[in-house]
Structure 1
Amino acid sequence: MKAYKFDLRISESGLIQLPLNPSLFNKEVEIIIVPKNQTTIKPPNKAADFVKKWAGFLKNTETDNAKRTYLSEKYQ
């Protein structure tokens, strides 16, 4: 069985208009309607917003001090 997918919009009066497809003429068909999810598009982040959000994300004072101590002892 061959399946067809059409991305359509139902009119305000409730009509669905299918594209012309002669292979479907005079045939019984089954129609399943799956509403699309309404997605909202967020505007892209500005570079300053990105830096403000992620600045200091990996900063850990305790770890930084331990690294500094280790490296200063190693390379004295």
Structure 2
Amino acid sequence: MEAYKFKAKVSENGTITIPESFGIKNREIEVIILNEVAPSVERKSMKSFLEKYSGVLKGVDPDHLKWDYLKEKHGL
């Protein structure tokens, strides 16, 4: 099975025009429609992210936390 990808807009009457270069005339095909929606999540700048989360792990040794977790998990 070959796969082709192109962007198209559905016309007012509900049709999609497939480019001639695909050479799929008079062939049975499977159509998958993906509705491309812009994300509604507000993008924040890296600077604001760093200001918010810098210092969260200050004074904490991540290796020690991992070791404590593994000791508890495995009953050591």
Structure 1 length normalisation: TM-score?
0.50
> Which structure is richer in relative contact order (CA contacts within 8 A, separation 6 or more)?
2
- Larger-gyration structure (1/2): 1
